[in-house]
Structure 1
Amino acid sequence: MRKGSIYILLLLSIFSCIEVDQQPNIQGTWELISAVTIKEDTVEHLEMDGIRMIKIINQNHFAFLNHDEHKGIDSTKAKFIAGGGAYTLKGNQYKENLEYCTHRAFEGYDFDFTVTIKGDTLTQEGYEIVEEKDIHQKIIEKYVKVQGGKAKNIYAFPLM
């Protein structure tokens, strides 16, 4: 009996050392804190002063809302972008099907990303490709998890 217990303990300790590729928990409300768009050899770090964006992710759908903080009063800075649809997540491979979008050229397309979470920060990296509209760009977005229902007031979404 004693040998059996030792073997069980040995097996448990071995299995506890094996890393399991876990799926990140992306559900929640996230606020964009940085965004980079790469088109061919051009890298754009987007100026996000005065613009905010949140992304809301539930069990199988996502939505994003982006607007200027001037309430649309300053027409040179007025922005409103929204979209959403279904998504799938397998491991860290995240695929969005953009069903609705104020940038109508993006509607109906799937976009593949890799997502990682470190602490309260979600990074989403991948490609937006719409052949018919000659859109080929890599995006890298970082979001911080919204705590207590109040998003921080600091950043935005890449505008096309």
Structure 2
Amino acid sequence: MRLNIVMLLAVLSLSSCASKDDSRKEGLDIQGTWQLFSATTIENGKSETTDYSGDLKMIKIINGTHFAFLKNSINPKDTSSFDAGGGSFVLDKDDYTEHLDYYKNKDWEGKTFKFKLSINKDTLIQKGIEKVEKAGVDRVIIEKYIKVK
């Protein structure tokens, strides 16, 4: 009986020492590199989908507390499509909140964006609202990513 109590205390002690990333809070495992394959924007009742499987490429890199995204064209003649940004995030179950700390358009910096996430196998779907008054942006976005292996 005493051995069982000692073993139980040992297991409880070890499990309490397990490293837990505060930003995940029992959420989805989103850490890694994700490649965007389609993005839909819905603005003023009009829906537009961009295909990212051709010349235009975008990745999002997520670690335990921060995210960064990079968008570029693989076409060497297209020098206007580069975009990048990043910041911190909090994930609570499927509620994902990004705080954009860095972006080329200063109207977007310091903004917070709330999304719902879902993962099905190697596909991450991010849905939410982008609203930036100074930039005249108020739209729903739906982004679909594939996990980069």
Normalised to the residue count of structure 2, the TM-score between the two structures is 0.78
Tell me which amino acid in the other structure corresponds to 2:59.
I
1:17-70 Cα shifts (integer Å, max 9, x gaps)? xxxxx5110100000011000102110112443110000000000000000102
Indicate the residue corresponding to 1:13 in structure 2: none
Q: Give the whole-Å Cα distance in 2 for the aligned partners of 1:74 and 1:97.
A: 29
Tell me which amino acid in the other structure corresponds to 2:41.
T
1:131 CA drift (Å): 2.2
Percent identity among equivalent residues? 43
2:68 to 52, 58, 63: 63
RMSD of equivalent CA atoms: 1.3
1:135 CA drift (Å): 1.2
Indicate the residue corresponding to 1:46 in structure 2: 50
Unaligned runs of 5+ in 1: 1-21, 148-160
Indicate the residue corresponding to 2:105 in structure 1: 103
Tell me which amino acid in the other structure corresponds to 2:58.
M
Normalised to the residue count of structure 1, the TM-score between the two structures is 0.73
- Residue-pair matches, total: 123
Indicate the residue corresponding to 2:33 in structure 1: 29
